[in-house]
């Protein structure tokens, strides 16, 4: 399977702006837009954290793939949203398109409900951008 996703420079900048305004300014630590092979399309951070983005992207794609396979086993098409809660830091995964995944790393200072709302808004804007550009 080929998971290559291509954006032109204007689309790329628009996506970065959407993710910055909707999520980084909210206070999340990191935002990654990746393809399902684990390639980073967009990576943004709050300037206060330093995670290995490449390893995180690869493992996130693998995790999402494993959970998708489990979904199929139990008769679901997929689970488009995943959440992992830690003591200090949590991760939220959301499918943006057939071959795109948004990964958000955030701390206890942000409520999950509010984060889910902001992620949904960001995804809608990105999907709208993809429709108009296609």
Indicate whether 1 pLDDT > 60: no
Q: Would you say residue 89 lies in a domain?
A: yes
* Mean pLDDT, rounded, for 54-68: 95
When pLDDT is cut at 50, 70 and 90, the band that residue 133 belongs to is low
* Overall residue count recorded for the chain in this entry: 134
Q: Would you say residue 4 lies in a domain?
A: no
* Mean pLDDT, rounded, for 1-20: 79
- Spatial separation of the C-alpha atoms in residues 101 and 94, rounded to whole Å: 6
Residue 112 lies in domain? 9-133
pLDDT value, residue 3? 43
pLDDT value, residue 81? 87
Indicate whether 86 pLDDT > 90: yes
Q: CATH number, domain at 85?
A: 3.30.450.30
Q: Would you say residue 2 lies in a domain?
A: no
Q: Would you say residue 88 lies in a domain?
A: yes
pLDDT value, residue 123? 95
Mean of pLDDT over the chain? 91
Q: Would you say residue 3 lies in a domain?
A: no
Task: Provide the percentage of residues in the chain whose pLDDT is more than 90.
Answer: 77
Q: Would you say residue 1 lies in a domain?
A: no
Task: Provide the percentage of residues in the chain whose pLDDT is more than 70.
Answer: 94
Q: Would you say residue 27 lies in a domain?
A: yes
In DSSP notation, the chain reads: --------HHHHHHHHHHHIIIIITTT-SEEEEEETTS-EEEEEE-SS----HHHHHHHHHHHHHHHHHHHHHTT-S---EEEE--SSEEEEEEEEETTEEEEEEEETTS-HHHHHHHHHHHHHHHHHHHHHH-
Condensed to tens digits (0 to 9), the pLDDT of residues 66-81 reads 999 999 999 999 888 8
pLDDT value, residue 134? 54
Quote the number of domains for the chain: 1
CB atoms within 10 A of CB 25: 11
DSSP-based three-state secondary structure for 36? coil
């Amino acid at each position: 399977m080929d998971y290559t996703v291509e954006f032109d420079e204007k689309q790329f900048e628009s996506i970065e702006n959407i993710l910055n305004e909707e999520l980084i300014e909210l206070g999340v630590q990191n935002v990654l837009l990746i393809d399902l092979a684990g390639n980073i399309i967009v990576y943004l951070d709050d300037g206060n954290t330093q995670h290995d983005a490449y390893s995180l992207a690869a493992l996130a794609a693998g995790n999402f793939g494993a959970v998708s396979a489990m979904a199929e086993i139990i008769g679901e098409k997929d689970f488009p949203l995943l959440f992992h809660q830690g003591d200090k830091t949590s991760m939220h995964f959301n499918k943006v398109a057939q071959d795109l995944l948004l990964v958000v790393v955030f701390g206890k200072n942000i409520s999950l409900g509010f984060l889910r709302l902001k992620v949904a808004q960001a995804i809608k804007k990105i999907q709208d951008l993809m429709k108009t550009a296609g």
